[in-house]
Chains A and B, each alone.
Chain A
Amino acid sequence: MTKYLDEYRDKKVCLELLEKVKEISTKPLRIMEVCGGHTMAIRKNGIQKLVGGNIKLISGPGCPVCVTAIEDIDKIVSLAGFKNVSICTFGDMMYVPGTSSSLSKISAAGGDVRIVYSVLDVLEFARSEKAKHFVFISIGFETTAPTEAAAIIQADRENLDNFSVIALNKTMPQALKAVLQDKNSKIDALICPGHVSAITGTDMYKSIVEDLGVSCCVSGFEPVDLLGSIYKLTELKEENKTALINAYKRAVCPEGNKKAQEIIYEVFEEGDTNWRGIGVIQKSGLKIKEKYKKFDAERRFDIKPEKSIETTECICGDILRGAKTPRDCALFKRVCTPTNPKGACMVSSEGTCSAWYKYGE
């Protein structure tokens, strides 16, 4: 048995929780699962079908690949064209379409694109292949940002000259507020991202509960976690209460991982950033500080990307805000498919459209 995983996949516990949810649920309840990982876990297990007609589960903007602006993809494509530059990326980014190209197309054309499990692998390439410059695509939210920050600190310590990062990281709090304040979203409660919260802690959700009147439940990713969180949110709704609940205490505490937070803000500072389909959200991005500018690929290289053009019929933005579903999109399944994606929500391994296509509605 895999400890801290298998017991949260216990079929008997899941079915009992499900029964209890259906027993107490009488009021309509729109729950947004913020995190793409939660979307995938919910749909993979069919939870959205099982919870019954009153509860609607809506996918949110917590998919770092989905929300990477097309301009940023075009910058990466442009970077790949520099001589002796190797682009290193998590697998998630390989097929994301830019205006006219993608990393997979660059690789097919002979570009040096390498898939890595960790930014640590990129440091290893940089140490052993001095003739090349390794640019790492730094995506992710607060879970991944400290890993990328730690790698920059390490590179600085070692004086690694042939390593830099294109910083595309984003942070959750402002984006959540933007989504919840969108009149079209109509969200009653949030399932909050478990691993972001492991880093940030739970305090950042207090203002959402207190000022916006939206209940928040921090959840793990296994079926017991998700069903337990849905049960708690349903209970609150039925009692006309709002609250902040931490249902992932095995990984999340109120103050989070302070050391990881310090490392993030040693290297990065907050900035305004463009979320694909949503627009610019203030103080929602992480940019590399002046102190570490030599590791900032945008400052190391004179990047001149092509003019970015988004597919106008793509409604990923509305989907990411929870205002629409893939069913509302004229392109979904007809034109936009995993083999011919028009937007990031279809390409990303945890994008809403990808989940709907792969697992059904």
Chain B
Amino acid sequence: MCWSIPGKIISICGNMAKVEISGVHKDVGLDLIDDSAIGEYVLVHAGYVIQKVNEESAKFTIDFFKKRGTKEL
């Protein structure tokens, strides 16, 4: 029910960031997260960043699904 998409922060100005999604740039609000940085991957929903992408977990998850070797997810 909540259409949200990952993108990369490419610039920050006050409480707004420019996020890049496959070459498309959108200005979004940063009010909902702290300490954002250029180069970070974030989830964008309805014009705001709602969460940062945990890149380590992302790698773990895809490796898990590829291998299905570990019991714990």
Residues of A within 8 A of B22 (CB): 2
- Chain B residues lying within 8 Å of A143, measured Cβ to Cβ, are 1-2, 4, 45, 50
Q: Which residues of A in the span 1-28 have a Cβ within 8 Å of any Cβ on B? A: 2-5, 7-8, 13, 16-17, 20
Stretch at the interface among A75-83, A127-135, A191-199: A191-199
Contact indicator A119/B46 (Cβ below 8 Å): yes
Q: What residues of B have a CB within 8 angstroms of the CB of A3 in the complex? A: 6, 8, 41
Give Cα A126–Cα B21 distance, bound, in whole angstroms.
28
The verdict on A228 contacting B65 (CB below 8 Å), with A2-B21, A62-B1 known, is: yes
* CB-contact partner of B3 in A4, A37, A120, A259, under 8 A: A37
Contact B43 A195 (CB under 8 A): yes
Do B58 and A4 touch (CB < 8 A)?
yes
Say whether A249 contacts B61, CB under 8 Å. yes
Partner pick for B62 among A224, A246, A252, A257, CB 8 A cutoff: A224
The answer to whether A37 and B46 have CB atoms under 8 Å apart is no
**Whose C-beta in chain A lies nearest to the C-beta of B71?**
A235
Interface assignment of A322: CB less than 8 Å from any CB of chain B? no
**A228 (CB) vs chain B CBs: closest residue:** B65
Q: Which of A49-57, A146-154, A160-168, A208-216 contacts B (4 or more CB under 8 A)?
A: A146-154
Residues of A within 8 A of B64 (CB): 228
Let me know if B73 and A37 touch, CB within 8 A.
no
Is A196 a contact partner of B1 (Cβ separation < 8 A)? Answer: yes
The answer to whether B50 and A150 touch across the interface, beta carbons within 8 angstroms, is no
Known contacts A5-B6, A141-B2, A263 near B31 by CB under 8 Å: yes
How far, in whole Å, are A17 and B66 apart by their CA atoms in the complex? Answer: 8
Assembly CA distance A75 to B14 (angstroms)? 37
Q: Which residues of A contact B73 (CB under 8 A)?
A: 228, 232, 245-247, 249
Using known A-B contacts A17-B68, A198-B50, determine if residue A64 contacts B32 with beta carbons closer than 8 Å.
no
A8 and B62 form a contact (CB under 8 A): yes
Whether A90 is near chain B, meaning CB under 8 Å from some CB there, is yes
Known contacts A13-B66, A117-B47: A253-B54 contact under CB 8 Å: yes
Q: Is the CB of B47 within 8 A of A250?
A: no
Q: How far is the CA of A150 from the CA of B47 in the complex (A)?
A: 11
Chain A contacts for B51, CB-based, 8 A: 198-199, 251-252, 257, 260
> In angstroms, how far is the closest chain B Cβ from the Cβ of A161?
21
For A224, give the chain B residue with the smallest CB separation.
B65
Chain B min CB distance to A47 (Å)? 14
Contact partner of B57 (CB less than 8 A), chosen from A5, A227, A245, A250, is A250
CA distance A141 to B73 in the complex (A): 26
Minimum CB–CB distance for A148 against chain B, Å: 8
The reply to whether B46 and A259 form a contact with Cβ atoms under 8 Å apart is no
Residues of the A chain whose Cβ atoms lie less than 8 Å from the Cβ of B37: none
A350 to B3, CA, bound (A): 10
> Does A185 reach chain B (CB closer than 8 Å)?
no
B54 in contact with A37 (CB, 8 Å): no
Q: When chains A and B are docked, how far (Å) is the Cα of A49 from the Cα of B30?
A: 40
A121 at the interface (CB under 8 A from B): yes
User: Which residues does chain A contribute within 8 Å of B5, judged by CB atoms?
Assistant: 5
- Give the contacting residue for B48; candidates A118, A232, A251, A350; CB below 8 A: A118
Q: Return the chain B residue nearest A256 by Cβ.
A: B51
Q: Could you list which residues of chain A lie within 8 angstroms of chain B, going by C-beta atoms?
A: 2-5, 7-8, 13, 16-17, 20, 35-37, 62-64, 90, 117-121, 140-141, 143-144, 146-147, 150, 153-154, 193-196, 198-199, 224, 227-228, 231-232, 245-253, 257, 259-260, 263, 350
10 residue pairs of the A-B complex, CB under 8 angstroms, read: A5-B5, A117-B46, A147-B29, A194-B2, A224-B65, A227-B65, A249-B58, A250-B61, A259-B34, A263-B31
Known A4-B53, A117-B46, A196-B2; further 14 A-B contacts with Cβ < 8 A: A17-B68, A35-B2, A64-B1, A118-B46, A119-B47, A140-B1, A147-B29, A150-B31, A196-B1, A198-B4, A228-B65, A245-B73, A249-B57, A257-B33
